[in-house]
Amino acid sequence: MKHILLVEDDENFVFGIEYTLTNEGYKVTHAGTLEEARDAFAQTEIELILLDINLPDGTGYELCKEIRVESQVPIIFLTALDEEINVVAGLDLGADDYMTKPIRTKELLSRIKAVLRRNSRPEQYSNIWKSGEFEVRVLEGVVFKNKMEVPLTTLEFRLLLMLMSHPKQICSRTSILEKLWDVSGEFIDDNTLSVHIRRLREKVEETPAAPQYIVTIRGVGYKWNAETTGAYR
């Protein structure tokens, strides 16, 4: 779950953006002032900052400049100031992107994903993952449950890896669809994803209708409901 720091003093705007991001599976910390933002950034591992320019105790430019001294965390400015000089000023200070209000939520989500993708570090996986009754041999593409092999299709295997690599975290349907489409090269729509989830449950769950591992988070997505060891080195 990616952690986003939203630095914005307009409560109505905050409510809408925070609701949207949370539904997409992001964790959001809100700061209404520069001082609150500094404290949040110092105390929490933040992976992206959405930063307003005009704040009660200063400007977002100040915070951006301070952060760039010690960190390359992605920063996207969100502001009503759309003149070229404001855009250039933000980018020159090291911001990764710039959006003017009113914000279109689909465009914001797209830009967040693009910025995170550009700034992501390659994940290093161990070959053997263990979770509850399961053992996954990643390089061999094989899954065992209680030492008995579970036959999975290629897409089911990739879906299982995606869920297990984010143990006890919500994977939104949108993020799953995008990731599976990227790695498989096939078009996968919402209905197809539901079918794959159902088939995967039939193979890994004792009682598919009452799953213990692949849990549905209604209206959001799915969660692998067990700790996983070996997913990251």
Write the CB contacts of 77 (distance below 8 Å, at least 6 apart in sequence): 51, 52, 53, 60, 64, 90, 95, 97, 98, 99
Q: What is the pLDDT of residue 126?
A: 67
Q: What is the pLDDT of residue 127?
A: 83
Neighbours of 93 (CB within 10 A): 18
Write the CB contacts of 158 (distance below 8 Å, at least 6 apart in sequence): 180, 183, 184
Q: What is the pLDDT of residue 58?
A: 92
- Domain membership of residue 98 (yes or no) is yes
Q: What angle do CA 31, 35, 36 make, to 5 degrees?
A: 30
| Claim to verify: residue 97 and residue 172 sit in the same structural domain | no
Q: What is the pLDDT of residue 26?
A: 94
* Residues of the chain where predicted confidence (pLDDT) is lower than 50: 122, 184-185, 233
- The SS3 call for residue 204 is helix
Residue that is last in its domain, among 120, 136, 158: 120
Write the CB contacts of 117 (distance below 8 Å, at least 6 apart in sequence): none
CA distance between the termini of the chain: 18
The amino acid present at 226, given as its one-letter code, is A
Q: How far is CA 95 from CA 52, 55, 70, 91, 113, in A?
A: 12, 17, 14, 5, 15
Domain that holds residue 220: 128-224
Nearest-angstrom CA–CA distance, 102 and 67: 26
Q: How far is CA 193 from CA 40, 65, 172, 187, in A?
A: 36, 43, 11, 10
Q: What is the pLDDT of residue 175?
A: 86
CATH classification of the domain holding 136: 1.10.10.10
Q: What is the pLDDT of residue 161?
A: 92
CATH classification of the domain holding 66: 3.40.50.2300
Residue that is last in its domain, among 86, 104, 120: 120
Residue that is last in its domain, among 61, 94, 120: 120
